[in-house]
Amino acid sequence: MVLTSYYTVKKQGMNEIEIRHSRFIAQVCRTEKEDEAKRFIEEIKKKNWKATHNCYAYMIGENQEIQKTSDDDGEPSGTAGVPILDVLKKRRLRDVTVVVTRYFGGIKLGAGGLIRAYSHAASAGLTAAEVVERIPYDLWRATIDYHQFGYLENRLRESPYIIKDVHYGEKVAIDVYARQESGSSYADWVTNLTNAQARIEKLCSTYLEKKVIET
């Protein structure tokens, strides 16, 4: 199975900012299906039913094919849902839903001020949820004799490959993550190190996550 790298959030996150006495509360969740996004939005709306506005956007799918925003929930057209979606697009995120709740503080912000406020709130919420890159890896198992184990383990720890588990039995089995694009290279590398004495098999394809450092 060929997987592709993409950006999303690590966990559910929340952040609150105050702008001219209005409270903007951003809540973010990883949602891999549209039904999950809709449920999350409804949960936030029920929790904040006294709020002046609950505005949202989400992007879902391998090619970001599902992109939806709220109807701005009473804010001037284009000042809430669209800015939130723009933040998701600019950060190239996928499978993410953002809901920004506003408790009006009595001072109008104007269209430009609202766009900046909702954008800022969405960005702060994403920071709280921790943006990560999900990178495709293959999980390989190499089964070797005990006398080869120490050497192979040392070489693995010096390499870009990631040891997941070691199983001790009649022989030693080492489970290792290798980036998907370098999978065949990994198998060749182990074969050379063990003089073709290792039994090598690919167990599965999966994702590992790497935190994105914001600049």
- Nearest one of 90, 89, 73 to 81, comparing CA atoms: 73
Give the residue from 91, 109, 129 where a domain finishes: 129
- Read off the pLDDT band of 214 (50, 70, 90): confident
Exposure letters 126-153 (e unless 16+ CB within 10 A, then b):
bebbbbbebbbbbbbbbbbeeebbeebe
Integer Cα distance of 5 and 28 in angstroms? 21
CATH of the domain at 146: 3.30.70.240
Radius of gyration of the chain measured on its C-alpha atoms: 23
The whole-number pLDDT of residue 1 equals 60
The whole-number pLDDT of residue 71 equals 80
Evaluate whether residue 1 is within a structural domain: no
Give the residue from 129, 154, 179 where a domain finishes: 129
Domain span including residue 206: 133-211
Exposure letters 54-63 (e unless 16+ CB within 10 A, then b):
bbbbbbbeee
Mean pLDDT of 75-97: 94
Which residue stretches of 51-108 are H helix? Answer: 81-90
**pLDDT tens digits along 151-167:** 999 999 999 999 999 99
Mean pLDDT of 59-83: 89
- What is the number of domains present in the chain? 2
Give the residue from 94, 111, 129 where a domain finishes: 129
Tell me the pLDDT of the chain averaged across its residues: 93
Mean pLDDT of 41-45: 95
The whole-number pLDDT of residue 2 equals 67
Residues 113 and 175 in one domain: no
| Strand pairing category for 66-69 and 53-60 | antiparallel
The whole-number pLDDT of residue 74 equals 86
Mean pLDDT of 54-72: 91
**pLDDT tens digits along 171-184:** 999 999 999 987 67
Residues 21 and 99 in one domain: yes
Residue 94 pLDDT greater than 80, yes or no: yes
The whole-number pLDDT of residue 215 equals 59
Q: Which residues contact 74 (CB under 8 A, 6 or more apart)?
A: 52, 53
Percent over 70 (pLDDT), the chain? 98
Integer Cα distance of 204 and 201 in angstroms? 9
Mean pLDDT of 95-121: 94
The whole-number pLDDT of residue 114 equals 94
Residues 59 and 161 in one domain: no
